[in-house]
Structure 1
Amino acid sequence: MSDDIRVFDDSSGSDESGTGPDARLVEEELRAAFARYEPLAPDAGPLRAAIDRRVVRRRQRRRVAQVAGVALAMLGVLAVPTFGRTVGVPPVPELAAPPPLAARSAGPAAPLDFLVLGVDGGDGRSNGHRADTVLLVHVPADRSRLYLVSLPRDLGVEVPGHGFGKLASAFYLGSHRPGSRPDLAGGTMLTERTVTALTGIRFDATATLTYAGLRQLTDALGGVRVCLPRQVRSHHTARVFPAGCHRLDGAAAQDLLRQRYHLDQGAHDRDRNGQRFVEALLHEVTDPANGFNPVRVAEIVGALGRNLVLSLHGTTPLELFGTLRTVAAADAVGIGWTYHPDRGPGGGIESLDPAQSRSLFEAFGRDTLAEWVDRHPERVTP
């Protein structure tokens, strides 16, 4: 034992107050020992600086995880496209965006509307994509659940600056760039303008994911569990998806969500399966094990690369991620259209029921989709 510090025994004759001669002696020896060894203690300055740097890095990683989580949450409302092509024309100017969410959040929460596009990977010759999945996503002010509305890809629409055509072609018209890579941002912009002209809805954010990107995202999440009300047989691979719940990898999910030929209502049933996949994917990407794990977020976002376009229109990442994570726990409500065979001169162009579509799009603006669904239960995806 060191001579500088001795053991003090209460039985050695000190008084009960602990201030007797022996107690004072020990205190003096302790003070002397601390004084002799104090110069040997390391400078605390570098240690404090290292701790401060570590705190800053941790905050930066948390911020990166939150921002990346926005992309993952937005991807949770994407479905897989199929293939197609048409002719291309020049791009269009940018849309006027709605007010930023922060500017509308001083009082009660505001309803939010998102547009989600799933596009094919191009055919290697046309330098463009087409949007075979066009999904409207409504988050009500009470944040009770998500409402998912699929627009038919063959819907006849007026494409701003390009005349009448199918909805799926709007993305191609905006993304086609002769002799260069397709411009996903241009295709997103023109499709958003087209949908806004059709519905009157101004979107708070738009997400676009390519065919390859969604396959990579599904694999990065370790698969997605999808529940089907009836068997689906693949027209492309002869794979059979029995009725019930299945965890699908990227290739299987891609195969399932391309199917329309063997379904009773063709592309309309394919859109309903897409809504089922959307809800399942949203639960996966907003799971804390994924959205708040920086390593998982880096792996997932890194798998997407150029296959993702995310336009927030003034909504901050933290606001968007917080909103989507809040509603992800509730079951989503998918809304589909009354089925009818493709019709129209020479191209299988579809149309919407004027009265029902008008009331549906007005319900977006009035934040009354819950009441609309109660009046039209036949339009809800089971």
Structure 2
Amino acid sequence: MSDPRKWARLAVALGILLLLPAAVTLPSVAGPPRAGLSGPLNILLAGIDPRGTHTRPLSDTIIVAHIPADRRGVYLFSLPRDLVVWIPPFAKNGVTGRYAKINAAMALGSETGPDRYDPGQGWELLATTVGQVTGIKRFDAGAVINFGGFKRMVQTLGGVEMTVDQDVVSEHLKPDGTRRDLLPGCRIGGKCLRPYTGPQKIYPKSTAAVRLRPWEALDFVRQRYGLPRSDYDRQRHQRQFLRAVARQITDPAQLLKVMATVGDDLTFKDGGHDLTDWLVALKDVDTTAVVTVTLPGGPVLEHGKYLGERFGAGVTSFFAAVKRDRVAAYLLDHPTLVDPVVKTRRPSSRPVTRG
């Protein structure tokens, strides 16, 4: 039977913390998985920045976790938040179909009334939209976590140790973690694309893992300005963060503590299956084999104006491999899509301090 510590690492690596509240009872789970959870599994994860149920959420992070039928590992790939797509009509709240950036799907689907928003409902329209892009007809499960839950999770872990693979300069925060000053005439959410000025927090490239404090971890995975590949570098850093967190969850008790801390800041979509279904279906997953994938893409420009992102050549064939559960074989033939594993020396206990 699987080591319960692997369950904890898998749960956090996928962002679906609520899958395993009874991980300590794993040895009692037996029998074949039910038909609904046999074969390959696809899980849709979203990170949002709401400030309560009265604020429309945008999905700044969109990650798909693909678990093959043979359970030999987990594959993580991202969709750019600015990917221009067709967002279909949504009967639950009467939203009409439109072309827009994909992160708007969460916002449009979440509306439940005047100034009332439900991220769980927003996930449904996001899942349909992502499904149209990828060809994944139905996601087996999903999760939505907001920035507050993210920071509390990292706080509970005592920070996160990860290697910084390139210099990253914060657009949002000063070296002490406070918000940068606003340019005259600018306000957050206004027409200024980059409204901040003054000193900036810096995350220098490292060869050893550094410990990021909660505010540093959240700030680090949000950055795209100034990076050579902009949002594609940010997506890679988000997937690296998931792997780093997974390594730090060492036992079920620690996982339960993290879950209790996150609380209502995480919404879980179980796909209509109970805990036992998931425990049985995932008990043989190799949690040490988490492979992260960067899909090619680039900007959509019109007369020099940035309109969003689009995928590049080859993405359609990758999605076809996901549908056919042939991702491992596809990546063997297309190794440049696989994110390099950053080799590190012994982790440092000091937080990132340069700024």
Distance in structure 1 (CA, Å) of the matches to 2:284 and 2:172: 38
Query: Which residue identity lines up with residue 163 of structure 1 in the other structure?
Result: R
* Cross-structure match for 2:242: 278
AA paired with 1:192?
A
> Counterparts of 1:265 and 1:110 in 2: how far apart (Å)?
35
What is the alpha-carbon distance in structure 2 between the residues aligned to residue 313 and residue 360 of structure 1? 24
Q: Which amino acid aligns with 1:303?
A: T
Q: 1:110 to 1:126 in 2, by over 3 A?
A: same
Q: Residue 150 in 1 paired to residue 78 in 2?
A: yes
Cα shift at 1:347: 5.3
Note the alpha carbon deviations across 1:348-380, whole angstroms, 9 max, x for none. Answer: 221113x51221111112111111111222222
Partner of 1:241: 203
Unmatched tracts of structure 2, length 5 or more: 17-31, 90-96, 174-199, 341-355
In structure 2, give the amino acid aligned to 1:313. Answer: G
| CA 1:134–1:104: 2 relative to 1, 3 Å | same
Deviation at 1:311, TM superposition (A): 1.0
Contact 2:72 2:289 in 1 (8 A): no
Give the letter aligned to residue 274 of structure 2: T
Measured at CA, do residues 70 and 102 of structure 1 come closer, stay the same or move farther in structure 2, by a change above 3 Å? Answer: farther
Change (3 A) 1:102 1:323: closer
More helix as a share of residues? 1
2:246 is the alignment partner of 1:314 = no
How far does residue 104 in structure 1 lie from its aligned partner after superposition? 4.9
2:194 corresponding residue in structure 1: none
- TM-score under structure 1 normalisation? 0.67
Candidates 117, 128, 131, aligned match of 2:59: 131
Alpha-carbon deviations, 1:18-55, whole Å to 9, x = none?
Answer: xxxxxxxxxxxxxxxxxxxxxxxxxxxxxxxxxxxxxx
| Counterpart residue number, 2:309 | 350
Question: Judging changes above 3 Å, is the alpha-carbon distance between structure 1 residues 344 and 188 closer, same or farther for their aligned structure 2 residues?
Answer: farther
Q: Which amino acid aligns with 2:299?
A: P
Q: Quick check: which one's strand share is greater?
A: 2
What is the aligned partner in structure 2 of residue 199 from structure 1? 134
Residue in 1 aligned with 2:327? 369
**Take 2:76 and 2:302, find their aligned partners in 1: how far apart are those partners?**
27
Deviation at 1:125, TM superposition (A): 10
* RMSD, aligned α-carbons: 2.8
Correspondence 1:214-363 to 2 at 5 A: 214-237=150-173, 238-244=200-206, 245-285=209-249, 287-288=250-251, 291=252, 293=253, 296-321=254-279, 326-327=284-285, 329-344=287-302, 348-353=307-312, 356-363=314-321
Q: Distance in 1 between matches of 2:127 and 2:33?
A: 18
Quick one: distance in 2 between partners of 1:70 and 1:331? 13
CA 1:127–1:236: 2 relative to 1, 3 Å:
closer
- In the aligned structure 2, how far is the partner of 1:374 from the partner of 1:193? 29
Cα drift, residue 264 of structure 1: 0.6
Larger radius of gyration: 1
Partners of 2:14 and 2:302 in 1: CA distance? 30
Higher relative contact order (CA 8 A, sep 6+): 2
Counterpart pick for 1:110 among 23, 39, 44:
39
2:281 & 2:241 partners in 1: Cα distance? 20
What secondary structure, in the 3-state scheme, does the structure 2 residue paired with 1:330 have? coil
Report how far residue 167 of structure 1 moved: 0.4
Would you say the 8 A contact 1:112–1:138 is kept in 2?
A: yes
C-alpha distance in 1, partners of 2:225/2:145? 24
| Aligned counterpart, 1:172 | 107
Aligned residues: 284
Letter in 1 for 2:84: G
Find the counterpart in structure 1 of residue 13 from structure 2: 76
The CA distance in 2 between the partners of 1:175 and 1:75, in whole Å, is 24
- Contact 1:135-1:151 at 8 Å conserved across structures: yes
Aligned partners of 2:297 and 2:311 also within 8 Å? no
Deviates more, 1:139-148 or 1:186-195: 139-148
User: How many angstroms does 1:101 deviate by?
Assistant: 5.6
Identity of aligned residues (%): 31
